[in-house]
Amino acid sequence: MGAGIPRYLQDIKNGKGKQIMMTLYATRRCPVCYKTGSIMVDESELLHYLRGNFVQDSFKTMSAPLREQIITGTHPECWQKMFGQEQEETIND
């Protein structure tokens, strides 16, 4: 990871007491509002994504709107402004 990227240790709320390293990931500029954004992500999942894996395979528990923000920079609120509806989860068979 590059220098200056904030890293946080955060407990998973699954009752197992497992701790994961969280990283603040800066997303690209939104094509709707032209602002950048950031998302807290599991560092191991981010590394999996940055190694060339698909976003849906790397961030399996992340909502579709946040995965879209990682891919295109489009904020969930801006998606609603563009299409008038929330993004839906789709399963590709």
The per-residue pLDDT for range 4-41, each reduced to its tens digit, is 344 454 444 445 566 778 889 999 999 999 999 999 99
Residue found by looking up tokens 């790397």 in the block:
58
pLDDT in tens, 32-81: 999 999 999 998 999 999 999 999 999 998 999 999 999 999 999 999 99
Could you tell me the residue ranges of all domains in the chain?
7-83
* DSSP notation for the chain: --TT--EEEEE-SSSS--EEEEEEEEEPPPTTT---EEEEEEHHHHHHHHTT--HHHH-TTS-HHHHHHHHH---HHHHHHHHSS--------
- Placement of tokens 């528990």 in the chain: 61
Q: Provide φ and ψ at 50, rounded to 5°.
A: -70, -15
Q: Looking at the whole model, is its pTM more than 0.85?
A: no
